[in-house]
Amino acid sequence: MLVPSLVLKHAAHRAERPCTGYPIVALVAAALLGLGLAAVHVAAQERGKSKVPVLDKITSSAMHQAFSGTVQSFDEKHNTLNVSAVEGGVTETFPLKKSTYAYTPDGTRIKVNDLAPGTSVIVYYDLHQDHRTVSRIEILAHESKKQAPHS
């Protein structure tokens, strides 16, 4: 029995001379630290994977834009606002939601159908593919549909 005699010699040698290497506590702490860092690394990779955008999301994201001009007309039947550009004379048509309002320079909210032709406005909208969604209309120079008679 060669193995038990080696074990006894090793045990006797250790009993004579105390361990001068790393204590077991330090080895366990190092192992736990390594496992903890590995877990943090895996968690970071998991989070990173979920935040990587898909190509479709990049190319089809909404773009915030603004168009300034003068009101030409408002079509109540189709709920669209026609605005001609300040420069170039191009008329743009903006589809509106029923909940879309216009805001005067002092911040007062008015209905879009109260905008008179010739009113200077800025139309803020989001462009998603070929579809426009108006988010806000700001009046630069307010002209009311209901004007007082000249005296």
Number of structural domains in the chain: 2
pLDDT for residue 52? 47
pLDDT for residue 122? 93
Residue 113, token pair as written in the block: 């159908």
Do residue 48 and residue 64 come from a single domain? no
| Residue pair 102/139 in contact by the 8 Å Cβ criterion | yes
Is 122 a domain residue? Answer: yes
Residue 33 domain boundaries? 2-52
Q: What are the phi and psi torsion angles at 46 (to 5°)? A: -60, -45
Do residue 124 and residue 86 come from a single domain? yes
Is 148 a domain residue? Answer: no
Q: How do the pLDDT tens digits run along the chain, 151 residues long?
A: 445 555 555 555 555 555 555 567 666 667 666 666 666 666 656 555 544 444 444 444 568 889 999 999 999 999 999 999 987 778 999 999 988 999 999 999 999 989 999 999 999 999 888 888 899 999 997 555 554 455 5
Do residue 42 and residue 82 come from a single domain? no
> In the block, which residue shows the tokens 């001009």?
69
**CA–CA distance from 87 to each of 25, 75, 91 (Å)?**
78, 23, 10
Report which residue type is found at 37: L
pLDDT for residue 104? 92
Query: Which spans in the chain are helix H?
Result: 2-16, 24-51, 55-59
pLDDT for residue 98? 87
Give CB contacts under 8 A, 24+ apart, made by 78-87.
81/112, 81/115, 81/123, 81/134, 81/137, 83/121, 83/123, 86/120
Do residue 95 and residue 30 come from a single domain? no
Do residue 74 and residue 44 come from a single domain? no
pTM: 0.53
Residue 127, token pair as written in the block: 């462009």
